[in-house]
Structure 1
Amino acid sequence: MVTTEVKIPLRSVPMERRTPVATLLIPAATMAVLGLWGLGNRGLWGDEATTWAAARRTPAELWHLLQNLDAVHGLYYLLMHGVLALRADELMLRLPSVLAMSWSAAVVAAIGARLAGPRVGLVAGMLFAVVPVVSLYAQEGRSYALVVAGAVTTTYFLVRGCETGQPRWWRLYALAAAATALLHAFALFLLPAHAATLLAARARAREWRLWSLSAAFAVAVVAPIAWVARSQGEAIAWITVPGWDAVTRLVRAFAGPSGWIACVVLLLAAGALLAPRRRALDVPRLSLATVALPLLLVPPALLIAVSQVQPLYDQRYVLYALPGLSLLVASGIDRLTSLLLWHSAMLVAGALVVSLVLGGQLGAQRFVRSSESRLDDLRPIAQVVRNDSKPGDAVLFLSGTRRKAAVAYPEAFAGLRDVALAEPPGKSATLSGTELPPSRLRDALSREQRVWLLDREDSDQRRVFRDAGERVKQDVLSDLFHREAVERMHGGSVHLYVHN
């Protein structure tokens, strides 16, 4: 009997490298602690009130709203509808963001571990968790933390797909990329970053084919939402053309608001590029640097470039690029400490850098948990109305967006008559409702005896409004009423007007 020995090349069947559980759990737990620290210190601010208003509507009302505005946030609002059905309060509104950032810290660690070893992964996850801007969005009831979680998960699937060549990882990649872009369409800029990774790694035709199919699937899923959102540009009409100051602010947000800490972080990241560590994967040149650097640079660069023609850029829209810097810094620490003969030098140096970033920016960490870190705080505004109003009083919002205080804290406005409101937000498929025409508004307001006016903080100067309804409000209050009391707080003011 003749036997034939078949030799299978080792590179065709990559060995499974298991990441230690502690490498994932320690960054996730750190992020969870930081995310829960002071989670309820401040009230809802304007953008969170938008989430609150949208997510508490029925699915039918939400569908009608998304046809008018905020289509890019539709999936997030639907998810939050389910979350708030369990319990509707400020903490529950923000808890998904805390969980998403905790998951992100673990996945950043997993990416670093697969590309450069468990020690690099652990330090990368910890560095991501202690950046103040990560805590800022971990404690906000908006979609940006979930987008970060989706982006790093998609990146992890890219690494596994290239590493193993198994189609299941590419299927997961396609699903994760589509879901992330449904949370926010600008997450599609992640795809060119991954294309740059494949290009730098000299990927084979098979990897390019699988990536192209996955990317096409994600774009096809998001295309209808993006098409609807094109007609809703008024929601981002406030965005201006970004200049170098936008780049500077992004660097300080990612590397740290403290200048000397930012310098240390950037120098360590440069160390990873000067002497990158390579892994023997199916894609021969896939390294931490070829994954992290495009993730860090490509999405912000593309969005800023596009915004020179059509202003779309905002820092939070590319927050998902931040993990690229955390991975590079961890790799830089590894490369520098590899010159030493001490086995534990990497972990010791990593712990020192993490302590430096966290301890040196505790002031920034405390700031992101304060009301001043956002444009306004609607809770104290609503509390003034709740404490000082009387049944039968009227309430008036000099700007329609200020109705967000009543949307976020409706119990504070119970018993008050919204004198300008014609149709409530839910029925009008808007966020703040529709108001009476100027002639009817003038008659209705003239009949009131006590009116609580909610306005912006610096509202003493008479302003020129383009909208006729806003002019009527200001004119009637000036002609027929006198101001009896005023209280100012961060981002808003409450005035009591009494009829003459």
Structure 2
Amino acid sequence: MGVMVVTGRAGRTGSHIDESSTARWSDARVAVVIGAASGVIATTGSWIPSFWGDEAASIMSARRDWASLWALLGTVDAVHGLYYALLHVWIDLAGTSPFAVRVPSGIAVGAASAGLYLLVRRRSTRGTAVIAAAVFAVLPRATFLATEARSLALATAAAVWLTLLLLRLLDAPTRRGWWWVYALGLALAAHLFLYVALLIPVHAVVASLELRRSGRLRGIRIRPFLLAWAGAALLIAPIGVVAVMQRDQIAFRRPHRTVTAKGVLIDQWFMFEALALVAWAFIVVSVAVVAHRREDAWHGNRQLLLLGGAWIVVPTAALAMVAAAVSLGYTPRYLAFCAPAAAIMIAIALAALPRRWMRAVSIAAIAGLAVPVYLDQRTPYWKNGGTDWQTVAEVVSQRARPGDGVVFDESVRPSRRPRLAMHAYPHGFDGLVDLGLVRPYDETGGLWDVTAPLAEVGHRLEAVDRVVVVSRSADGVDADVAALRQEGFGLAERVVLESDVVMVYEREP
């Protein structure tokens, strides 16, 4: 697809960036450089934060054999099935270290930046396209994606490249094969992350308005789009039905799914109040500037503004309505695949600034405001309220001996259970006896292990003289500690970590 877009050149815009120094570079080469640079920025330090619950679910699901994975998807997480399957293949090649399982997300962020450059370049100047890709690369939501072993980064890259293909299909008749690629691409992207299906109405708005403006909104011209969207919708429908049927798996999150102004205006893409204020100011400016400029040379930017606006508004409004109606609802990070649209709209405003130094200062200001978030994202305890499982594994490895028992706090919600530290960082628990385990996760149709309180399996203590207890909540292991004391164990050591507490109990003489 990169070759197709080289020939697309819409009218020049208000950017006065001197392109003579890069004229000898093809857009494909510029896109590769941008993608590589963005990928490096995104991937750097991505291995530092501890895994959290959603990532543990990814890793545990990907470790299952194919039969076990299929059984899981029949019960829960079918919406993530394609990603789990891809990750299963990947970890067979690369392993399950934090870097290994997150690097595909970093590569996807780079691919999204490269695709965004080509997308904007199809309608505007090289300067505007470079600015859009650069802004996207430093947006906190984009740099966040690279630290997640989840499907959102891949889905975001798919959204960008599919939108680029939409513009190609709008510009000129093309071979039937590309319509198949477009329809299947939409379906596969939605199977990576269900809400990417909302690109269909976004693309429908953009295509309809563009064809109407050009006088080409006739049956023969719109029919291929309608067929492609209908085909994609048919392929997406089964996973949508299954998602509704499995919605109870996220019922515990309902209190956390309220749509708020902070969630929409800050957390979706900017994640920092000052950056959000500056970014929204530029977005407003882009709307005002494009509305004011009527020259033909600004037609490309008007198209980009329409695309960016629809890409932001339609998915956000849809998720807000879904959150109000059912439990599949709203979480700010779910709108990550709309971050490229925010970058487009910001870039239009920056490119319209009359002086090069103004553009440079503005880009530097955005990057500068994003740096604290970027650095914070790459600290050990950044995820999910201070998840510290990497440190838990290290502490347990230092203090436990082969044959010791281990007990975990099961009282907190699934994504925070310290038991997941054992699955995310198994090296720290080598040789330990999981005293509470009844049935391992990969022998169930659910995501997690089946466990029992220590009081119900107290006979297992007969074979151990030391027990490591890992707790997240204040009193989540009180019953287990009582069972240990009843069997003659006393507290030998207690280590308080960022969120968890590791305790070592030894059998008293």
Partner of 1:466: none
**Deviation of residue 425 (structure 1)?**
1.6
Where in structure 2 are the equivalents of 1:65-144 lying within 5 Å?
65-88=72-95, 89-144=97-152
Partner of 2:494: 486
SS class of match (1:490)? coil
CA–CA distance in structure 1, aligned partners of residues 124 and 116 of structure 2: 12
Where in structure 2 are the equivalents of 1:161-240 lying within 5 Å?
161-166=169-174, 167-201=176-210, 203=212, 204-205=217-218, 206-240=220-254
SS class of match (1:396)? strand
Partner of 2:342: 325
Indicate yes or no: 2:312 matched with 1:296.
yes
**Deviation of residue 257 (structure 1)?**
4.3
CA–CA distance in structure 2, aligned partners of residues 298 and 490 of structure 1: 39
Indicate yes or no: 2:439 matched with 1:426.
no
- What letter corresponds to residue 114 of structure 2 in structure 1? A
Where in structure 2 are the equivalents of 1:3-42 lying within 5 Å?
16-17=7-8, 20-42=27-49
Per-residue CA deviations over 1:272-317 (Å, capped at 9, x if unaligned) read 2223278989x99971111111101110111011111113111121
- What letter corresponds to residue 64 of structure 2 in structure 1? R
Partner of 2:19: none
Task: Say if 1:68 and 1:109 are closer, same or farther in 2 by CA, change over 3 A.
Answer: same
Native 8 Å contact 1:487 1:493 kept in 2: yes
Indicate yes or no: 2:409 matched with 1:398.
yes
Native 8 Å contact 1:115 1:279 kept in 2: no
CA–CA distance in structure 2, aligned partners of residues 231 and 40 of structure 1: 35
- What letter corresponds to residue 8 of structure 2 in structure 1? R
Which of 272, 297, 312 in structure 1 is aligned with 2:286? 272
- What letter corresponds to residue 184 of structure 2 in structure 1? L
Native 8 Å contact 2:268 2:333 kept in 1: no
Partner of 1:367: 376
Which of 292, 296, 314 in structure 1 is aligned with 2:331? 314
Contiguous gaps of at least 5 residues in structure 1 = 1-13, 464-469
Tell which has more relative contact order, 1 or 2 (C-alpha 8 A, sep 6+): 2
**Deviation of residue 186 (structure 1)?**
1.6
Greater mean alpha carbon deviation, residues 270-279 or residues 353-362: 270-279
Native 8 Å contact 1:239 1:314 kept in 2: no
Task: Say if 1:125 and 1:59 are closer, same or farther in 2 by CA, change over 3 A.
Answer: same
SS class of match (1:128)? helix
Native 8 Å contact 2:258 2:330 kept in 1: no
Task: Say if 1:439 and 1:498 are closer, same or farther in 2 by CA, change over 3 A.
Answer: closer
Per-residue CA deviations over 1:73-113 (Å, capped at 9, x if unaligned) read 11111111111111202211011000100000111111111
Native 8 Å contact 1:420 1:435 kept in 2: yes
Native 8 Å contact 2:191 2:236 kept in 1: yes
Indicate yes or no: 2:431 matched with 1:415.
yes
TM-score (norm 1): 0.85
Native 8 Å contact 1:189 1:298 kept in 2: yes
SS class of match (1:42)? coil
Native 8 Å contact 2:403 2:464 kept in 1: no
- What letter corresponds to residue 197 of structure 1 in structure 2? V
SS class of match (1:454)? strand
- What letter corresponds to residue 102 of structure 1 in structure 2? G
CA–CA distance in structure 2, aligned partners of residues 329 and 267 of structure 1: 9
Per-residue CA deviations over 1:360-379 (Å, capped at 9, x if unaligned) read 33211100111332021321
Task: Say if 1:372 and 1:438 are closer, same or farther in 2 by CA, change over 3 A.
Answer: closer
Native 8 Å contact 2:140 2:373 kept in 1: yes
- What letter corresponds to residue 117 of structure 1 in structure 2? T
**Deviation of residue 173 (structure 1)?**
1.8
Greater mean alpha carbon deviation, residues 413-422 or residues 235-244: 235-244
Which of 264, 267, 270 in structure 2 is aligned with 1:256? 270
**Deviation of residue 199 (structure 1)?**
4.0
**Deviation of residue 485 (structure 1)?**
2.1
Native 8 Å contact 2:49 2:383 kept in 1: no
**Deviation of residue 442 (structure 1)?**
4.1
Task: Say if 1:306 and 1:413 are closer, same or farther in 2 by CA, change over 3 A.
Answer: same
Which of 35, 59, 64 in structure 2 is aligned with 1:52? 59
CA–CA distance in structure 2, aligned partners of residues 220 and 172 of structure 1: 15
SS class of match (1:237)? helix
How many positions carry a matched residue from both structures?
Answer: 469
SS class of match (1:395)? strand
Partner of 2:22: none
**Deviation of residue 31 (structure 1)?**
1.3
- What letter corresponds to residue 176 of structure 1 in structure 2? G
CA–CA distance in structure 1, aligned partners of residues 45 and 300 of structure 2: 46
TM-score (norm 2): 0.84
Task: Say if 1:207 and 1:181 are closer, same or farther in 2 by CA, change over 3 A.
Answer: farther
- What letter corresponds to residue 283 of structure 2 in structure 1? A
Task: Say if 1:92 and 1:242 are closer, same or farther in 2 by CA, change over 3 A.
Answer: closer
Native 8 Å contact 1:386 1:413 kept in 2: yes
**Deviation of residue 146 (structure 1)?**
0.6
Task: Say if 1:381 and 1:15 are closer, same or farther in 2 by CA, change over 3 A.
Answer: closer
Greater mean alpha carbon deviation, residues 297-306 or residues 232-241: 232-241
Per-residue CA deviations over 1:36-71 (Å, capped at 9, x if unaligned) read 321322332222221111112222221112112111
Which of 143, 146, 155 in structure 1 is aligned with 2:163? 155
CA–CA distance in structure 2, aligned partners of residues 260 and 330 of structure 1: 18
Partner of 1:8: none
Contiguous gaps of at least 5 residues in structure 2 = 10-25
Greater mean alpha carbon deviation, residues 237-246 or residues 152-161: 237-246
Task: Say if 1:243 and 1:278 are closer, same or farther in 2 by CA, change over 3 A.
Answer: farther
- What letter corresponds to residue 164 of structure 2 in structure 1? Y
Task: Say if 1:247 and 1:212 are closer, same or farther in 2 by CA, change over 3 A.
Answer: farther
- What letter corresponds to residue 227 of structure 2 in structure 1? L
Greater mean alpha carbon deviation, residues 103-112 or residues 477-486: 477-486
Partner of 2:390: 379
Per-residue CA deviations over 1:105-142 (Å, capped at 9, x if unaligned) read 11111111112222111110000001122111112111
